[in-house]
Each structure stands twice: as C-alpha cells, then as structure tokens.
Structure 1
C-alpha cells in the first residue's frame, strides 16, 4: 500500500506554481496546505474553487 505525504504533495505543487504552472488540489487538507504556502511566499495566485477542488493559477 502506498501512502501519500500531503505535505510533500503541497511542496511539489508549490514548486510547479513557482515555475509558472497551474496546479489542482482536490482534498480540503491539500487546499489548506497550498493556501498556507501561497501566503507564506506572498505569491500572486488566482484560486478557482469548484465543488470538487481548487485550481491555483499563477498571475503573470
């Protein structure tokens, strides 16, 4: 059985955002971790929330 480390997933997604890529998070825990990392790095990100998750879109 493979267990996902949510903190590592959030770090990987943050690195994608820092590279200018759009990322998606579908669990509330991952969305919370992403929001915390975005705030701490003071990134200009648009968050598009849906019923199934959130898209994090970097603003250029």
Structure 2
C-alpha cells in the first residue's frame, strides 16, 4: 500500500518547522512554490539555497 502525501499539508508542516527556527528542504517544484508563497505571506527572513535537486530554506534569525 502506498500513501499519497498532501503537498499543502507538507508545506504547512515545513512552514511550522521554519517558524520554530529549523532549516527545511523541499524537493519538488510544486512544494518549493508552495513554500515560497507561505514564506512571502508570513514575511519571513529566509535564505533560499537552490540546488539541482531541490531547495533548502534556512531561517536567518
């Protein structure tokens, strides 16, 4: 049996990690897009480190 992860829930979970001061990783374009939206709407000070296979979101505070 395979479980399908809800991308919006994953983005919300990762946003909560960022709000707690933790670095998070997103590996798909959709998840990266959702993360960028959430970061903008919360006006978070985040460094984004893009790689060939995904994106690291690193809190600056």
Give your verdict on TM over 0.5: yes
Shorter-chain TM-score: which interval? over 0.9
Q: How many residue pairs get matched?
A: 60
Q: Deviations over 1:15-45 (max 9, x none)?
A: 0000000000000000000000000000000
Report the equivalent of 1:55.
Answer: 56
Partner of 2:42: 41
Uncovered stretches (5+) of structure 2, i.e. residues with no partner: none
Residue 9 (str. 1) matches residue 10 (str. 2)? yes
State the superposition RMSD in angstroms: 0.4
How far apart are 1:52 and its partner, in Å? 0.2
Structure 2 Cα separation of the partners of residues 3 and 28 of structure 1: 17
TM-score normalised to structure 1 length: 0.99
Instruction: Please give the secondary structure, in 2, of the residue aligned with 1:16.
Output: helix
**Structure 1: runs of 5+ lacking an equivalent:** none
